[in-house]
Copies of this chain bind each other. A is one copy, B any other.
Amino acid sequence: MEAAFGGIEAGGTKFVCAVGTGPDDIRAEIRLPTETPETTLGKVIDFFREQQKQQEIAAIGVASFGPVDPDPSSPTFGHITNTPKPGWANTPVAPILKDEFGIPIGFDTDVNTAALGEHSWGAAKDVDTFVYLTIGTGIGGGGMLDGKLIHGLIHPEMGHIAIPHDWERDPYAGTCPFHGDCWEGLANGPALEARWGQPGQQLPPDHEAWPLEAHYIALGVTSIMMIMSPQLVVLGGGVMEQEHIFPLIHQEVKSLLNGYIQSPTILEGIDSYIVPPALGGRSGVLGAIALAQRAIQDD
């Protein structure tokens, strides 16, 4: 049997582990609650050990909740760093797996990995410079420039940029503990729920919540467009499951740009420029498998 790759989507509430070579060849998959590192990583190791009896696993990729150190040249590469999540601060996830299995281990942020999944098999196939944003409990951003995952000084988060807050239209102060009404503070899922008294999935599509939400999302997206000039913007995460807001976002982005970017991609094709992830909720674990495939090449 052809060698497979392991993928781990390490989230703050659950871990998803899979073995396979891509979306059409997932040979096994489990979901585990995120408990202590010992318990959860123990179960992860058991799963892959069991799978190794069926087939060779050539490498494992990890899409991790953060903050993380994704720099392969750093002594703390593959660690979850200063997370407030109890027990998980300074957990050397990639080194533990490397010691256990002795195979190449890829490691990156959950958002960058989801971006890689969409690049390998989803909405960003054949697109080398794009952004993937998740808008849910928080707002996080990742993506690629010229085919390389974006890292920089620290991996960029993108969610905490300052945006104009129209207090007359929206007196809600924002959820962010650092900045109050930054982009994440005004546009994440908890802000939506706090502002309107119920979670987004319970608000009807014609509720006044949505034009305001689309306005805020569009403000952040246009800043990213002007700074990075992506060829595509993929919007995922819990809030974006309300797909009826995509057309509102398209309109708001065009209105905010006000003709400034004279590209037919945006002027005529914005419906296919700002899009949902094609892999839906599977971008992360599939991206982790793609990360494992890259880890082999880089090793």
Task: State whether A141 touches B229 (Cβ < 8 A).
Answer: no
A163-B164 in contact given A141-B227, A227-B223, A260-B179 (Cβ < 8 Å): yes
Task: State whether A260 touches B160 (Cβ < 8 A).
Answer: yes
Q: How far, in angstroms, from A158 to B160 measured CA to CA in the complex?
A: 17
Interface residue A290 (Cβ < 8 Å from any Cβ of B): no
Task: State whether B260 touches A161 (Cβ < 8 A).
Answer: no
How many copies of this chain sit in the oligomeric assembly? 2
A90 to chain B, nearest CB (A): 13
Q: How far, in angstroms, from A156 to B224 measured CA to CA in the complex?
A: 10
A19 to chain B, nearest CB (A): 31
Q: Could you say which residues of chain B place their CB within 8 Å of the CB of A129?
A: 151-153
Task: State whether B259 touches A178 (Cβ < 8 A).
Answer: yes
Q: Could you say which residues of chain B place their CB within 8 Å of the CB of A259?
A: 178
Stretch from A21-29, A196-204, A261-269 at the B interface = A261-269
A163-B160 in contact given A145-B145, A153-B231, A263-B154 (Cβ < 8 Å): no
Interface set, chain A 249-275, CB cutoff 8 A to B? 256-263, 265
Q: Could you say which residues of chain B place their CB within 8 Å of the CB of A148?
A: 145-146
Interface set, chain A 192-237, CB cutoff 8 A to B? 219, 222-224, 226-231
Q: Could you say which residues of chain B place their CB within 8 Å of the CB of A263?
A: 153-154
Interface residue A35 (Cβ < 8 Å from any Cβ of B): no
Task: State whether B260 touches A226 (Cβ < 8 A).
Answer: no
